[in-house]
Amino acid sequence: AQTVTQSQPEMSVQEAETVTLSCTYDTSESDYYLFWYKQPPSRQMILVIRQEAYKQQNATENRFSVNFQKAAKSFSLKISDSQLGDAAMYFCASTTSGTYKYIFGTGTRLKVLA
Amino acid sequence: KAGVTQTPRYLIKTRGQQVTLSCSPISGHRSVSWYQQTPGQGLQFLFEYFSETQRNKGNFPGRFSGRQFSNSRSEMNVSTLELGDSALYLCASSLGQSHQPQHFGDGTRLSIL
């Protein structure tokens, strides 16, 4: 069975600093996709970044990057130069190609301190 | 381009009643997924529809059902409501391939008294 685990319920970071959110997953499949979604308070969930399992290169989107360790089944999100607007719940998610079933972690609440 | 629209935004029901939630996807999106979000549990996958066909479903009792219409709009129905069904129900649409991102609506907040 596919599982996604986020072991940090809450994290804090000082504005302009860097923070890393952890995520581990488990799957027996070889073709899968990993995602990080952001849910700001009372606002819509939006995609932050995604990673194809077959790609060795870590995905990057501006200040957001991932550290994808396939053998360790780890998929952490690094936020550089943190901004107040980064404060939100962050969810790690995975899906296996062709199943159309998305598994989400329990989320990490990120607080950004001014 | 209009985003994913969920109606109603808020709903209050009592135990034993049934409820129907609606989701209109982004124009051109043929896949609609439904999730139950509760504090501490994150998002639990309910089911996914594509071109009126359910392609997968999560581990929820049969009281939870859904359907999708030819215009890709989707409805979710919960019968015989229980206190534990109180949650934020999120709908997400996409073009339908696994690698493509999901676009979420604002959700329907369901409270059971």
Can you name the residues that pair with A108 across neighbouring β-strands? A90
Q: What percent of chain A has pLDDT over 90?
A: 84
- Give the list of residues 6+ apart from residue A69 with CB closer than 8 angstroms, or none: A75
User: In this predicted model, what pLDDT tens digit does every residue of B73-109 receive, in sequence order?
Assistant: 999 999 999 999 999 999 999 998 888 889 999 999 9
Whether the Cβ atoms of residue A114 and residue B45 lie closer than 8 Å to each other: no
Give the mean pLDDT of chain A: 94
pLDDT band at B2; cut points 50, 70, 90? confident
Q: Amino acid identity, residue A36?
A: W
Interface of A with B (CB under 8 A): 6, 33, 35, 37, 43-47, 50, 52, 91, 93, 95-107
Beta-carbon separation of A44 and B104 below 8 A: yes
Distance CA B13, CA B113 (A): 6
- Give the list of residues 6+ apart from residue B39 with CB closer than 8 angstroms, or none: none
With an 8 Å Cβ cutoff, is B1 touching chain A?
Answer: no
Beta-carbon separation of A97 and B41 below 8 A: no
User: In this predicted model, what pLDDT tens digit does every residue of A44-81 receive, in sequence order?
Assistant: 899 999 999 999 899 999 999 999 999 999 999 999 99
What's the gap in Å between the CA of B85 and the closest CA on chain A? 18
Burial of A8 (0-12, 13-18, 19+ CB in 10 A): middle
pLDDT of residue B96: 86
Compare all CA atoms of chain A with the CA of B43 and give the residue at the minimum distance.
A104
Neighbours of A104 (CB within 10 A): 22
Closest to B35 (Cα-Cα) out of B95, B113, B94: B94
Neighbours of B94 (CB within 10 A): 23
Distance CA A104, CA B38 (A): 12
Distance CA B53, CA A77 (A): 34
Beta-carbon separation of A102 and B33 below 8 A: yes
Chain B, 77 to 106: residues with Cβ < 8 Å from chain A are 90, 92, 96, 98-99, 101-106
What's the gap in Å between the CA of A67 and the closest CA on chain B? 18
pLDDT band at B42; cut points 50, 70, 90? confident
Residue among B29, B45, B48, B68 with most chain A CBs within 10 A, to mutate: B45
Beta-carbon separation of A52 and B99 below 8 A: yes
**Alpha-carbon distances of B19 from A85, B15, B38, rounded to whole Å:** 35, 11, 18
The sign of the CA dihedral B111, B34, A36, A42 is negative
Give the 3-state secondary structure of residue A3: strand
With an 8 Å Cβ cutoff, is B34 touching chain A?
Answer: no
**Alpha-carbon distances of B109 from A42, A99, B86, B112, rounded to whole Å:** 11, 28, 8, 10
Residue among A10, A34, A45 with most chain B CBs within 10 A, to mutate: A45
Can you name the residues that pair with A11 across neighbouring β-strands? A110
Whether the Cβ atoms of residue B22 and residue B7 lie closer than 8 Å to each other: yes
